[in-house]
């Protein structure tokens, strides 16, 4: 058996910043600390913070007045920020800067009178936050069929934005459908899909042909991890999304299998290493690391934490 370890994999700069922010908040302000939504979409990460005394909430009114709350990496709508002020909360904004970029684009397009077509998954925290910036200007589409159903005239003043964690291939098809229906449509100067999402997808595309099975570390509610599994399956490979080594099933493999092991942008590296240990101990597997693209991106801590002495 051989395991090919994809690189880049795992934590992106936005997730590193968000997790470090919550750790620093615990250090500076002690617990209980509240997090508005899961800090990142990864069950083991969330459970680790719960053990440290972090309380995750889905409504801002669940946070006691005057308490400390940290916004997740996926961003929040303006109404949540306003509610935090009314409740006298110490708010720490750990929104990924690439998500903030999409929020600013939504605000700009709305001010300029555009109807904004947001490509994303309904109910995803990031989509909810972006929509909240201009709720009366945004229409959500999830696929090309949705594009045809848009209640807009052909000459409408329209612009598009995308959720940052989507599949590059998936969005290309939807954007092409939008441009066919609305040739005048405007879009962001740079693709909104984040660098880390693109790089992890590229690694799957480059390496899938060499392997028999693809394993992706990530949680079921992680959009970018789900996309990695879909990309592998689109290339005819059995692919499985797992939270950790205890979810691996031996029947997925043969003794001579070549396995591609990677991780979504919110999955920690220790889970990857545990899987490698499993394959070495159970199957005597060898390991080869394959670097598809280098990453050297980092984001500063939120202003609220940089100002703490």
Model pLDDT, residue 219: 97
What class, spelled out in words, does domain 13-95+300-306 have in CATH?
A: alpha beta
- Between CA 41 and CA 264 the distance in angstroms is 10
Model pLDDT, residue 309: 60
Section 151-165 average pLDDT: 96
**Same fold flag, 13-95+300-306 and 98-181:** no
C-alpha angle 63/65/69, rounded to 5°? 45
Is residue 18 exposed (0-12), middle (13-18) or buried (19+ Cβ within 10 Å)? buried
Distance CA 226, CA 234 (A): 12
Three-state secondary-structure class, residue 117? strand
CATH number for the domain formed by residue range(s) 98-181: 3.40.1010.20
Q: Is the pLDDT of residue 192 over 90?
A: no
The mean pLDDT of 210-236, rounded to a whole number, is: 96
pLDDT(167) > 90: no
> What is the residue-averaged pLDDT of the chain?
95
pLDDT score, position 176 = 96
Give catalytic residues, as residue numbers: 126
Q: How many CA atoms lie within 13 A of 168 on its CB side?
A: 14
Residue 99's pLDDT band (cuts 50, 70, 90):
very high
Residue 299: C-alpha distances to residues 3, 13, 59, 113 (Å)? 31, 6, 27, 32
- Mean pLDDT (whole number) for 207-235: 96
Over residues 4-43, the pLDDT tens digits come to 999 999 999 999 999 999 999 999 999 999 999 999 999 9
Domain range 2-11+195-291, CATH architecture? 3-Layer(aba) Sandwich (3.40)
| Structural domain boundaries in the chain | 2-11+195-291, 13-95+300-306, 98-181
DSSP state at residue 51: H
Q: What pLDDT, in 10s, does the model give residues 264-288?
A: 999 999 999 999 999 999 999 999 9
């Amino acid at each position: 058996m051989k395991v090919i370890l994809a690189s880049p994999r795992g934590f992106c700069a936005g997730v590193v910043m968000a997790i470090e922010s919550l750790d620093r908040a615990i250090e500076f302000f002690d617990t209980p600390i509240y997090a508005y939504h899961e800090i990142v979409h990864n069950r083991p990460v969330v459970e680790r913070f719960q053990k440290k005394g972090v309380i995750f909430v889905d409504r801002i009114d669940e946070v006691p007045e005057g308490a400390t709350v940290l916004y997740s990496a996926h961003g929040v709508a303006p109404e949540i920020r306003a509610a935090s002020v009314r409740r006298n909360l110490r708010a720490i904004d750990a929104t990924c800067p690439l998500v903030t970029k999409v929020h600013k684009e939504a605000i700009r397009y709305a001010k300029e009178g555009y109807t904004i077509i947001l490509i994303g998954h309904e109910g995803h925290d990031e989509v909810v936050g972006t929509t909240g910036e201009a709720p009366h200007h945004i229409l959500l589409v999830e696929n090309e069929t949705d594009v045809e159903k848009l209640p807009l005239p052909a000459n409408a003043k329209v612009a598009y934005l995308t959720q940052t964690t989507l599949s590059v291939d998936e969005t290309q098809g939807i954007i092409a459908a939008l441009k066919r229906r609305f040739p005048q449509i405007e879009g962001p100067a740079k693709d909104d899909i984040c660098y880390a999402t693109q790089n992890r997808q590229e690694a799957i595309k480059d390496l899938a042909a060499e392997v028999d099975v693809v394993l992706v570390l990530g949680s079921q509610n992680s959009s970018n991890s789900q996309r990695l599994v879909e990309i592998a399956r689109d290339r005819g490979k059995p692919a499985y999304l797992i939270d950790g080594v205890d979810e691996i099933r031996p029947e997925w493999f043969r003794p001579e299998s070549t396995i591609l092991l990677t991780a979504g942008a919110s999955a920690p590296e220790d889970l990857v290493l545990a899987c490698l240990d499993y394959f070495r101990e159970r199957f005597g597997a060898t390991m080869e690391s394959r670097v598809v693209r280098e990453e050297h991106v980092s984001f500063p801590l939120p202003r609220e934490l940089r100002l703490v002495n």
